[in-house]
Structure 1
Amino acid sequence: MLKLLGARQLGGRDTAEVLRVLESDPVAACMVAARVQHSGLDPRALQGEMWSRGGPAESLCFAGANLVPLLGELDDLRSFADRASRFPRMCSSLVGRAELALPLWELLESDWGPPRELRSEQPLLALRDEPLVRPDPLVRQVRMDEIESYLPAAVSMFIEEVGIDPRASDGGRSYRRRVANLIASGRAWARFEDGEVVYKADVGSMSATVGQIQGVWVDPARRGEGLGATGTAAVAGAVTARGRIASLYVNSYNERARRTYATVGFTQVATFATVLLD
Structure 2
Amino acid sequence: MPITVQQLAPTDTDALRALLAKDPAQNLYLLGLLQEFGIAPADHRSSFSYWGRFDGKTLTAALFVGGGGGLMVPSASDGSATGVIADALAERVRLKASVGEKPAVDALVRSLCPGKPRLSKNYRLFAVSADDMGPFTNPLLRLAREEDVPRLLPLALGAVQEIYGRDALAEDPHFEARVAQRVRARRTYVLEENGEMVFKVDIGSRSQFGAELENLYTVPSQRGKGHATLCLGQISRFLLSSLPRLTLRVEEKDESLARIARKVGYLAGRTQRLVLAE
Q: Deviations for 1:174-202, whole angstroms, at most 9, x for unmatched residues? A: x2232222211211001013443201100
Q: Give how far 1:253 is off.
A: 0.6
CA distance in 1 between partners of 2:183 and 2:244 (Å) = 20
Match of 2:38 among 31, 37, 40: 40
Residue of structure 2 equivalent to 1:24: 22
Amino-acid identity (%):
25
Specify the code of the residue in structure 1 equivalent to 2:151: S
1:196/1:273 Cα in 2 relative to 1: closer, same or farther (>3 Å)? Answer: same
Contact 2:90 2:111 in 1 (8 A): no
Residue of structure 2 equivalent to 1:95: 99
> Which contiguous aligned blocks of 4+ residues in structure 1 show a shift greater than 3 angstroms?
43-47, 71-76
Contact 2:13 2:38 in 1 (8 A): yes
Contact 1:149 1:195 in 2 (8 A): no
Contact 1:187 1:204 in 2 (8 A): yes
3-state secondary structure, aligned to 2:168:
coil
CA RMSD of aligned residues (A): 2.1
> Which aligned pairs between 1:182-261 and structure 2 lie closer than 5 A?
182-261=182-261
What residue ranges of structure 2 are gaps of 5+ in the alignment? none
Residue of structure 2 equivalent to 1:10: 8
Residue of structure 2 equivalent to 1:124: 125
Structure 1 position 145 matched with structure 2 position 147? yes
3-state secondary structure, aligned to 2:116:
coil
3-state secondary structure, aligned to 1:167:
helix
Residue of structure 2 equivalent to 1:276: 276
Q: After alignment, is 241-250 or 65-74 more displaced?
A: 65-74
Residue of structure 2 equivalent to 1:134: 136
* TM-score scaled by length of structure 1: 0.89
CA distance in 2 between partners of 1:2 and 1:92 (Å) = 30
Residue of structure 1 equivalent to 2:111: 107
Q: Deviations for 1:209-236, whole angstroms, at most 9, x for unmatched residues? A: 2110000000101111111111111111
Contact 1:29 1:70 in 2 (8 A): yes
What residue ranges of structure 1 are gaps of 5+ in the alignment? none
1:245/1:47 Cα in 2 relative to 1: closer, same or farther (>3 Å)? Answer: farther
Q: Give how far 1:127 is off.
A: 1.1
CA distance in 2 between partners of 1:169 and 1:243 (Å) = 35
Match of 2:74 among 69, 76, 81: 69
Q: Give how far 1:260 is off.
A: 0.7
